[in-house]
Every structure is written in structure tokens, then in C-alpha cells.
């Protein structure tokens, strides 16, 4: 069983690995984190945008990450649909034994 803090650490580790690829530092938006029975949904954004609000620093396509509270597995959602749709799909995949 994974705690919220452990899940957050897992996401931070994954995001650190993406920093060079993205070309900027990214931060988890703690106030936006969703808790569900399946685990947590973490949102993130460029650090510069969070500090300055400068829209040219805002990331695009930064899909929320789901951390499974039982396995610690991180799943990337998407940005084409509302996050609740991705959560529902993830929950359905768990119910069918996909994870």
C-alpha cells in the first residue's frame, strides 16, 4: 500500500526524469491533487509559470498522472478529454483486472 507522500515522491521522480526532455523544471500542483479509492491523480506545470503566471511559460499537453495506491504504478492520462473520463477508464481497467 502506497501513501500519498510516497505517491507524490514517485511522481516527482518521474517528472525529474522528464525535465531535460521538457526543457524546464516542473512542479506538482498539490492543491489540484485528487484522491480517489484507486489512488491519486497528480497535476503538474512548469515552475516558471507557477511562479510568474507568464502564459508563455505554461506547459501544453502535460497530462495528469494517476498513482495506484496498491501497486505504486504510475499511469499517464491524457489531455483531449476531461480528467474524470480518464479516471473512469482507469477504474474500469482495474475492475477488469488490467492493472
Each residue of 26-72: pLDDT tens digit?
999 999 999 999 999 999 999 999 999 999 999 999 999 999 999 99
- Taking residues 73-78, what's their average pLDDT? 97
Q: Record the pTM.
A: 0.91
- What is the residue-wise DSSP string for 12-78? HHHHHHHHHHHTS-EEE-GGG-EEETTEEEE-EEEHHHHHH--GGG--SS---EEEETTT--EEE--
Q: How many CA atoms lie within 13 A of 55 on its CB side?
A: 0
- Taking residues 1-20, what's their average pLDDT? 91
Q: How far apart are the first and last CA of the chain?
A: 15
| Annotated domain spans of the chain | 4-95
Which residues are registered as beta bridge partners of 35? 40
pLDDT for residue 99 = 59
Percent of residues, the chain, with pLDDT higher than 70: 97
Amino acid at each position: 500500500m502506497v501513501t500519498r507522500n510516497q505517491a507524490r515522491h514517485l511522481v516527482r521522480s518521474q517528472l525529474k526524469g522528464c525535465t531535460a526532455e521538457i526543457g524546464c523544471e516542473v512542479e506538482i500542483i498539490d492543491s489540484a491533487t485528487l484522491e480517489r479509492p484507486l489512488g491519486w491523480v497528480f497535476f503538474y506545470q512548469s515552475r516558471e509559470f507557477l511562479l510568474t503566471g507568464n502564459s508563455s511559460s505554461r506547459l501544453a499537453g502535460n497530462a495528469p498522472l494517476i498513482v495506484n495506491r496498491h501497486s505504486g504504478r504510475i499511469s499517464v492520462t491524457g489531455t483531449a478529454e476531461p480528467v474524470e473520463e480518464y479516471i473512469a477508464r482507469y477504474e474500469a481497467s482495474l475492475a477488469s483486472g488490467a492493472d
